[in-house]
Amino acid sequence: MVWFVSVESVDRIIYPIFQRFNLKWKTRRPLHIYTSGSTSPKSHSVTYARGNQSMMSWPLSDSEPIAGRLTLRLSVSTFVLATAWIVLAMLISHLIRCAYRGESLSLFNHLIAGRAEHPLDEYLARWNVLTWSGLGAIFSAGAFLIVATRPRPLWLVQFGPPVCAFLLVRALLWVSFAAAPAHEVLSHHRWDGTPARFATSFNLESWSRWDSGVYLSIARAGYEFYPCDIPSEGAPISRQGGRAGTESWCGNCPWFPGYSILVWFLARFRLPELAVGVLLSAVFCLLTLSLLWREFLSAERTVKNFLCLLFASLFPGAVYYHAVFPISMMTFLILVSLHFARRKRWAFCGLAGAAAAFTYPPGAFLAIVFAAWVFYWFRDVRWRDKLWWTATVGVLTTAGVALVFIVQRLFVGAWLTFFRAQGAYKEGSFGNPVTILFHSARTLFRDWGHPGTAVIAANTLFNATLVVLLVAFAARAARRSPVEAYQVIFLLVFWVALLSLGEWSQTRKQALLLPAVPLARHLPGWVLWVIVPLSLLLLLLEGTMFFNASLI
């Protein structure tokens, strides 16, 4: 038996059903999933069936009515949560006053008995910092979710998420400052180790710890190089660790000048060096997140891309992106170098590498990364061309290191002072990466009761696990995409090289691995949902250690 059905009548029945779900039956189009976050939506796109892709890779809805309803609900939820936080903060402030005088509940009185080492006003000032920073974190998180649900305007999609992620991490770092033990937080760290004063408010000096003073001293007075036997009052580094009598050299020559020169230049406009350093770090951190979102995640509104952006902003050691250190400047220059490499702009790639090598010693490793990438990816290109490309980028990157030696020669009148001064510091020692990993694992389980050493060891092991996961899941994509291939090679070279530089300041050094975060798009969704909260926990712990000057 054969049934004849009118197609037009069926269309008239089905069309109203799909209209209810805001789908256009007549002009329907397939879902586009881009195989690489680095590819443009206008090119190299591949259409996949919805059933073969993870839900986290689906683009979020572009429907204005749906986005409007979500925005309203998120806005109301944010204001309700902020109001509840303010009420709770006022209640706790009252409890602090009563407990300090012994007039609160017996439980609170017992907890605070004998622990009051500062006046009541100082504790209340610290609580005010926590109140305002918590309020900032609530509004920043709400703004991030609202921006993530808005498909228009275009400028909001391209610039809104990185700005909101930056503000969120900034507020969380203020929370970690306020949550630090009151007797350990200093307004700044002195070189002789004595406490400066009890910090009751968050200020610019809160971002300056340890080597921050060295970078500011280079910006203020240039390089200094002198025997450690000679007392040098007021110098940034002298007579540390009992080096007097060892015929070693002290000074600030082991630190590269790129960041300090920018501080010096902007300080010519009658700005304090410390304020300029904080501003530069914040600007470069924001530029790094913006470049990562727009160029390497293509500003695609998918759940995985938003998680990758959050992970980048919370990356282990993220406190150094905001502090007076050249780490955020380095991550930005590394991404710029990759940006020009994938466009085969070798001269600009080399100049970005030179700027990175002039700013921080590991920047010189970019020449190795580029050479390995060229010989791996361009296997069909003539050897003469590959050697020319490698020589161009390698020579320019090496020129950045050579320029450091020239600058130091102009200031102190001697060559290779960087290597001569390294002997007086732990920075000059090399280590075995495997030994360092085993030592970190042993430290984590042995010193679990000592949060300082345990957190640093956990950071090293977390990064090691992350490297293994990223390389394992991105290996297939690295065979198809030059950008993923470059990022995998960068991750392996920098991770091994930074571990080889010894255990000293590993948290700060491994923060340079941030440019490899786009590889996390290849991880399973549940793995991303695990590593982002873990990164948040590490950020709060490392922020607390940084502000009490126990994280070097």
Average pLDDT, the chain: 80
Is 115 part of a structural domain of the chain?
yes
The 10s digit of each residue's pLDDT in 224-254 is 888 776 554 444 444 444 444 445 778 888 8
Instruction: Inform me whether the pLDDT recorded for 283 exceeds 90.
Output: yes
| pLDDT classification of 48: cutoffs 50, 70, 90 | very low
Number of CB atoms found within 10 A of residue 540's CB: 16
Of the residues 139, 162, 179, the one at which a domain ends:
179
The 10s digit of each residue's pLDDT in 396-423 is 999 999 999 999 999 988 888 888 877 6
The structure tokens 């309203």 sit at 72
Q: How many whole angstroms separate alpha carbon 296 and alpha carbon 490?
A: 15
Write out the two tokens for 374. 């060229």
As a whole number, mean pLDDT of residues 182-201 equals 46
Is 123 part of a structural domain of the chain?
yes
Q: Are residues 161 and 234 in the same domain?
A: no
pLDDT score, position 406: 94
**Residues 6 or more apart whose Cβ sits within 8 Å of residue 314:** 169, 532, 535, 536, 538, 539
Q: Are residues 125 and 231 in the same domain?
A: no
**What are the residues facing 225 on neighbouring strands?**
251
Instruction: Inform me whether the pLDDT recorded for 92 exceeds 90.
Output: no
pLDDT score, position 238: 43
| Lowest-confidence segment of 84-88, 118-122, 305-309, 381-385 by average pLDDT | 118-122
Domain that holds residue 34: 7-50
| pLDDT classification of 28: cutoffs 50, 70, 90 | very low
Q: Which amino acid is at 401?
A: V
As a whole number, mean pLDDT of residues 485-498 equals 94
As a whole number, mean pLDDT of residues 122-137 equals 83
Q: Are residues 157 and 232 in the same domain?
A: no
The 10s digit of each residue's pLDDT in 416-455 is 888 887 766 655 456 788 888 888 888 888 776 666 788 8
Q: Are residues 84 and 43 in the same domain?
A: no
**What are the residues facing 251 on neighbouring strands?**
225
Q: Closest by alpha carbon to 406, among 250, 262, 257?
A: 257
| pLDDT classification of 358: cutoffs 50, 70, 90 | very high
Is 478 part of a structural domain of the chain?
yes
As a whole number, mean pLDDT of residues 332-339 equals 96
Q: Closest by alpha carbon to 366, among 278, 537, 190, 493?
A: 493
Q: Are residues 265 and 150 in the same domain?
A: no
Q: How many domains does the chain have?
A: 3
Is 171 part of a structural domain of the chain?
yes
The 10s digit of each residue's pLDDT in 504-550 is 778 899 999 999 999 999 999 899 999 999 999 999 999 888 888 77
Is 201 part of a structural domain of the chain?
no
Q: Are residues 143 and 226 in the same domain?
A: no
pLDDT score, position 486: 95
Please, are residues 202 and 174 in contact by the beta-carbon 8 Å criterion?
yes
Q: Are residues 299 and 434 in the same domain?
A: yes
Write out the two tokens for 159. 């610039």
pLDDT score, position 37: 39
% residues pLDDT > 90 (the chain): 44
% residues pLDDT > 70 (the chain): 74
Instruction: Inform me whether the pLDDT recorded for 90 exceeds 70.
Output: yes
Q: Are residues 393 and 506 in the same domain?
A: yes
Instruction: Inform me whether the pLDDT recorded for 30 exceeds 50.
Output: no
Write out the two tokens for 255. 């630190």
| Lowest-confidence segment of 6-15, 145-154, 170-179, 328-337 by average pLDDT | 6-15
**Residues 6 or more apart whose Cβ sits within 8 Å of residue 11:** 25
Q: Are residues 39 and 69 in the same domain?
A: no
Q: Closest by alpha carbon to 374, among 361, 385, 358?
A: 385
Q: Are residues 149 and 236 in the same domain?
A: no
Q: Are residues 118 and 258 in the same domain?
A: no
| pLDDT classification of 23: cutoffs 50, 70, 90 | very low
153 prior amide bond cis, ω within 30 = yes
Q: Are residues 405 and 518 in the same domain?
A: yes
